[in-house]
Structure 1
């Protein structure tokens, strides 16, 4: 599993800053504030994503994705759980893979593999199959919210 310690913190922080988010490093062994899953999983409070060195990058990107899809005025109320709907959750699963490509040393392929290793479950059996063959409504949701360019399926920064 690729962790925050395996990539440059500044690269991840810069990516999140493009979306007016802040990345806060939590000391090793400390509890991650706003973590829905606990353990090493990333946390959310307001416009800040919290992560330790052992936080999986896919987790950090997933939680950041929840904040990215929210209008800035709604971010302030977020604490731990940002999911608004199944459609949003589906879109965030796609978005986190795209964000992986923006981090040197990560990439979409690694994020997809780590999602599978973590235990994400999709109808077609893998994160890759979901993103490539079963996520049309998620892609449309992201496009309608101004986050991806269609039909290229690329991020809009």
Structure 2
């Protein structure tokens, strides 16, 4: 995970188990973001860590530095974040896109077509195009 984030000029900071997670929008054990750093604990779900990291990845570098806890209020950026986290999960050993989509469904992500997979495969053309346009895919 640290190497994946490093390729996108992000840092991963692991906080001690039981400690508050800086920059966590949803509260523990969900990941947090401040600037170009993603914070997580041993019990932070992978989908949460990837989601928060992808929020930073989709932002231009000058906006990343200003982020504290809440990365965006843009639907287009949120959709791009969700799409990218699924793609990047495929680069992580023992994770993969299939597992990540199941985890997203279990956590409570909701999409018009009823599941993360259905959205990703049949309803996310705009998110993919947004990422391609910005050179992120």
Q: TM-score range by the shorter chain?
A: over 0.9
Equivalent of 2:123, from 116, 122, 134?
134
Runs ≥4 residues deviating over 2 A: none
Quote the residue 1:25 is aligned against: 14
C-alpha distance in 2 between matches for 1:84 and 1:76: 16
RCO comparison, higher one (Cα < 8 Å, 6+): 1
CA RMSD of the aligned region, Å?
Answer: 0.6
C-alpha distance in 2 between matches for 1:125 and 1:101: 22
C-alpha distance in 1 between matches for 2:64 and 2:72: 11
Quote the residue 1:91 is aligned against: 80
1:39-93, Cα deviation, whole Å (9 max, x unpaired): 2000000000000000000000000001001111111100000014101101111
- Number of matched pairs: 137
Aligned partner of residue 123 in structure 1, secondary structure? coil
C-alpha distance in 2 between matches for 1:72 and 1:20: 9
Aligned partner of residue 139 in structure 1, secondary structure? helix
Quote the residue 2:45 is aligned against: 56
5+ residue gaps, structure 2: none
Query: Which residues of 2 match residues 8-157 of structure 1 at below 5 A?
Result: 12-148=1-137
Aligned partner of residue 39 in structure 2, secondary structure? strand
User: What TM-score, normalized to structure 2?
Assistant: 0.98
5+ residue gaps, structure 1: 1-11, 149-157
Pick which of 32-41 and 82-91 moved more. 82-91
C-alpha distance in 2 between matches for 1:84 and 1:116: 22
Aligned partner of residue 61 in structure 1, secondary structure? helix
C-alpha distance in 2 between matches for 1:84 and 1:114: 23
C-alpha distance in 1 between matches for 2:45 and 2:88: 14
